[in-house]
Amino acid sequence: MRPLTEAETRAVFEKLGRYIGENIQLLVDRPDGTYCFRLHRDRVYYLSEKLLKVAASVPRDNLVSLGTCFGKFTKTQKFRLSVTALDFLAPYAKYKVWVKPGSEQSFLYGNHVLKSGLGRITENTAQYQGVVVYSMADVPLGFGVAAKSTQECRKVDPMAIVVFHQADVGEYVRSEDTLT
Amino acid sequence: MAAVRVEEVLAAAEEREAEKRRSVTVEKELELEFDLGNLLALDRNPPAAAGLRGAGPRREALLRALARDNTQLLVARLWELPAERAGGAGGPLVARLPEPAFRLPREKPPPRPRPPTRWEQFARLKGIRRRKRTSLVWDEQAKEWRRRWGYRRAGGDPARAWLAEVPAGADPQEDQFARLRREKRERVARNELNRLRNLARAHRAGTTVPAAPLHPTGHQSREELGHVTRVARVSTASLGRFQPRLPKEPAEPPSRSGGRKRRFEPLLGNLAAERSRQLELLRDMGSKKPVLDITRAVNKQLRQEEAEAAAAKGKKQSQRGKRGRRQQRPGRSSK
């Protein structure tokens, strides 16, 4: 377990910034305690100082997970955000997409969101912008990347993909073994 | 029947004889060039290219035949040299080889000039020249020419010298033999020390390689230029700590351990400092983000056009009456 280096921090913040923009400050600088990021076995964890002090006493080989896992660094040092970060992305998301009840299940199975399943989308969403996907009842389902900007979404045909799937809460069941 | 067999046998024998003789003479298009001083034979005939291509037993056989033919020619030439019996009548026949014409390259590099030793410098200064000493000295005692040093040297064996006079000002109790031995040991040691010193001086002078130039020469490789850039970055009063990075230079500063071991921040270090560093990093990242003028402008334009189109259609509809279809707008935006 170790703190992130500057390059790693930059990569993580860039990725997070694509979804929550400048609200990362609210994650870094919290009024209710000191929270920090730590790296353990290529995975980035977000945890409070209190928890960090306790976790420091666990041997490295025996430590499985600590706090919230935000994602992991791949072999080529690229940061990949995982669904376990959704709890922190959802309240601060800048661009949101609401999915109709009919295609919720499709998204939860890992498919992309089609135009026919699109309920609402934030105005001014640029193409390839990171978005958080909600159900019509404002329950966060996952996050992805907007395949079309809002303008284009209005004009495109119903079978076109509007949001690329990146992570959904169905992964808690599907990839139970690999999530930390 | 018997005559036929005899004839056959004779023909076979003759063929074998011819074979043997044939193997001694070799036909070549171009004559070989010989340098008998180096036992060298140069064959400039083009080889049978088709047979030599590709590995296989055929290639082996061709190469072997080629080698055998050329060796035959070389040996035939060697036999033509003037020969004599070495070591008297019964000794082996030895051919006298001519001077080698082919200059072979050196096996090892030529010795580089070493710096002069302290004695050599002194001698050059004083103009002392080396006097050639004779290896034999006349020994008066033995009345013959003896070596200067070594086995049966002139002046007797120093180990068997049974008399050592006490010099005039010396202590009478001192052991002269011991003194002589000690002095010899000291002389030998001093000589050895000086020899090693000269060697070290020569070695040191040889290993100082002139450093690569730091200014651009136009003949520098990419690695050299990288090294020069690193040196230039560090050559400031603060040793490069506040040197701004070039556009494509990597953000990570080079580690002080020279890339051998990665050093990380302590696990439970100053968390407040960590937080402030991260906030600063966020600020830097945020400030550098360019505003997406183009896409926003395009979207704005599109929205304007749509609004105008909607307004025009609305007018038309109100003019036409209630017959106009209501347009369904899926994906209506809202915040």
Separation in Å, CA A70 to CA A18, A67, B261: 14, 9, 27
Q: Mark the ranges of chain A whose per-residue pLDDT is less than 50.
A: none
Residue A147 near residue A161, CB atoms below 8 Å: yes
* Whether A48 contacts chain B with CB within 8 A: no
3-state helix, strand, coil in chain B (%, to 5): 45, 5, 45
Whole-number Å distance between alpha carbons of B253 and B274: 18
**pLDDT tens per residue across span A35-71:** 999 999 999 999 999 999 999 999 999 999 999 999 9
User: Is the pLDDT assigned to residue B181 strictly greater than 60?
Assistant: yes
- List of chain B residues whose C-beta atoms are within 8 Å of the C-beta of residue A1: 267
- Cα torsion B183, B186, B190, B191: sign: positive
- Cα torsion A55, A57, A60, A61: sign: negative
- Chain A: closest CA distance from residue B229 (Å): 21
Whole-number Å distance between alpha carbons of B115 and B199: 9
User: Is the pLDDT assigned to residue B178 strictly greater than 60?
Assistant: yes
Taking an 8 Å cut-off on Cβ atoms, the answer to whether A6 and B252 are in contact is yes
3-state secondary structure (DSSP) of residue A34? coil
Residue B89 belongs to some domain of the structure = no
What are the structural domain ranges in chain A? 2-88, 95-174
* Whether B329 contacts chain A with CB within 8 A: yes
pLDDT on residue B335: 44
Residue B17 belongs to some domain of the structure = yes
Whole-number Å distance between alpha carbons of B21 and B30: 21
Residue B215 belongs to some domain of the structure = no
Whole-number Å distance between alpha carbons of B145 and B134: 11
Residue with the bigger pLDDT between A111 and B247: it is A111
* Whether B300 contacts chain A with CB within 8 A: no
- List of chain B residues whose C-beta atoms are within 8 Å of the C-beta of residue A3: 264-267, 269, 274
Residue B52 belongs to some domain of the structure = yes
| Superfamily of segment(s) A95-174 | PUA domain (2.30.130.10)
Taking an 8 Å cut-off on Cβ atoms, the answer to whether A151 and B292 are in contact is no
**What residue in B sits closest to A23 (Cα-Cα)?**
B282
Enter the DSSP assignment of A102. Answer: G
What letter represents residue A121's amino acid? I
Q: How many helices and strands, by DSSP H and E, does chain B display? A: 8, 6
**pLDDT tens per residue across span B189-221:** 999 999 999 999 888 887 776 677 788 888 788
Separation in Å, CA A169 to CA A12, A113, B281: 21, 15, 31
Q: Are residues B12 and B76 in the same domain?
A: yes
* Whether A17 contacts chain B with CB within 8 A: yes
User: Is the pLDDT assigned to residue B331 strictly greater than 80?
Assistant: no
Residue B30 near residue B78, CB atoms below 8 Å: no
User: Is the pLDDT assigned to residue B264 strictly greater than 90?
Assistant: no
- ipTM score of complex: 0.87
Which run of H or E residues covers position A172? helix A171-174
**CATH among 3.40.50.720, 3.40.50.620, 3.10.105.10, 3.10.450.220 for A2-88:** 3.10.450.220
* Whether B292 contacts chain A with CB within 8 A: yes
**What residue in B sits closest to A126 (Cα-Cα)?**
B295
- Chain A: closest CA distance from residue B292 (Å): 9
Residue with the bigger pLDDT between B22 and B260: it is B260
Residue B289 binned pLDDT confidence (cut-offs 50, 70, 90): low
DSSP lists the bridge partners of residue B83 as B95
Q: Which residue range is the domain that position B45 belongs to? A: 8-80
User: Is the pLDDT assigned to residue B103 strictly greater than 60?
Assistant: yes
Average pLDDT over residues B123-146: 90
**What residue in A sits closest to B292 (Cα-Cα)?**
A126
Taking an 8 Å cut-off on Cβ atoms, the answer to whether A22 and B282 are in contact is yes
pLDDT on residue B333: 47
Stated pTM of the model? 0.47
**What residue in B sits closest to A153 (Cα-Cα)?**
B331
Q: What's the structural domain count of chain B?
A: 2
Taking an 8 Å cut-off on Cβ atoms, the answer to whether B331 and A1 are in contact is no
Taking an 8 Å cut-off on Cβ atoms, the answer to whether A154 and B275 are in contact is no
* Whether B302 contacts chain A with CB within 8 A: yes
Whole-number Å distance between alpha carbons of A27 and B254: 30
What letter represents residue A22's amino acid? E
Rounded mean pLDDT of chain A?
94
Residue with the bigger pLDDT between B2 and B26: it is B26
Whole-number Å distance between alpha carbons of A6 and B263: 12
